[in-house]
Amino acid sequence: MSCCILYNEPGPNALPDELDIIEQVEYVEMHLHQMNISTYRKGITTNFMNELAELKEAPPEFIFNLAESINNKGELLYFVPAVLNMYSIPYTGNPLEAMFITTSKWLTYRMLVQAGLNAPKAFLPSQASMLETGKKYIIKPIWEDGSMGITADSVFIAGADTSARLSAYRDTHWFVQEFIDGREFNISVMMGKNGPEVLPPAEMTFRNYGDDRPKIVDFKAKWEEGSFEFKNTVRKFPGKKLDTGLESKLRELALGCWHVFGLKGYARVDMRVDNNNIPYAIEVNANPCISPNGGFAAATHEAGYKFTDVLQWIIDDMNR
């Protein structure tokens, strides 16, 4: 088989979150070669329409789609599967519709609510008057992934200054969520040999965080090596130590998201859990990082799977 590994080409001044894509490409490429699948790479830029059009001249048997953005803008991500659809070139991972909806955290929230799945209440900045005084909230970018735009200051308590605080944020690019002040879990889901499979739940633990520092996975925690947040935000797999009732709820919510959004291949659902052990979906990532140090690869390893098998199941799901 021949495969084109498609990814977003990092720019000359790329930040660590954008450069991570090269590690993903190398990791997938290495394992595809172990599967006797020949590969070549194609990076895309702002000239993506012409770059993707080149594929139709001598199309590969399939695309392994790792593209996370265009020009580091997540809101353009759905153009990649849209153009591949137009040229009838098969690609791994999630389809256009799922990619578009889940890339927008606001649309994701609305679909979660419509489907009756747990999600923290959310508002647009222009709805600041609807926020409850004294309650804790977090403001997030609608279209960006990888915790871009999220800092410790993103968490705030609603008060008299809330409307003024949020007036600088546009409804097109920002939204506000109720902050679930509890535990955080990353739940990876993939299409296994017997259907969608929830991988072992990973908990993000926050060491040495005082009461003055919100327990969130912000940009520093993900990307700034040497920072307090990076060193003290640690992924753990609680395994049998995890309460069975909570684990069941996490799995049920993750599978609910898989079916509601029409996910394929692989995905990750990020959740917060309140003090009553009730999980809330805060993000559905239809194109999560699959670098060797990323959460998805870690979950497959925790489950005891060889990554070549994982890639084969992802490829198999492409044609279902």
Assign domain 102-119+181-201+237-318 to its CATH architecture: 2-Layer Sandwich (3.30)
How many CA atoms are closer than 13 Å to the CA of 136, on its beta-carbon side? 10
Edge to edge, the sheet with strand 136-141 lists 122-123, 174-178, 136-141, 155-157
Q: How far is CA 167 from CA 125, 127, 128, 140, 291, in A?
A: 7, 10, 9, 14, 38
The per-residue pLDDT for range 123-132, each reduced to its tens digit, is 999 999 999 9
Residue 122 in contact with residue 109, Cβ under 8 Å?
Answer: yes
Does residue 147 carry a pLDDT above 80?
Answer: no
% of the chain with per-residue pLDDT over 70: 100
| Beta-bridge mates of residue 183 | 273
pLDDT per residue as tens digits for the range 41-51: 999 999 999 99
pLDDT in tens, 77-124: 999 999 999 999 999 999 999 999 999 999 999 999 999 999 999 999
CATH number at 2-91: 3.40.50.20
- Looking at every residue in the chain, the average pLDDT score rounds to 94
Q: Which residue has the tokens 């044609």?
A: 319
Say whether pLDDT at 148 is over 80.
no
Q: What is the pLDDT of residue 12?
A: 83
Encode pLDDT of 208-264 as tens digits. 998 889 999 988 888 888 999 999 999 999 998 999 999 999 999 999 999 999 999
Average pLDDT on 196-202 reads 97
Indicate the SS3 state at residue 129. Answer: helix
Which stretches does DSSP call E strand in the chain? 2-8, 38-44, 62-65, 122-123, 136-141, 155-157, 174-178, 183-192, 195-198, 202-206, 233-236, 266-273, 279-285
Domain boundaries, the chain: 2-91, 102-119+181-201+237-318, 122-178
3 closest CA partner among 51, 40, 34, 43: 40
| Distance of alpha carbon 111 from alpha carbon 13, whole angstroms | 36
Average pLDDT on 49-72 reads 93
Same fold, 2-91 and 102-119+181-201+237-318: no
Helix (H, G, I), strand (E, B) or coil at 195: strand
**pLDDT score of 296:** 96
Question: How many Cβ atoms from other residues are within 10 Å of residue 214's Cβ?
Answer: 18
Q: What is the pTM of this model?
A: 0.94
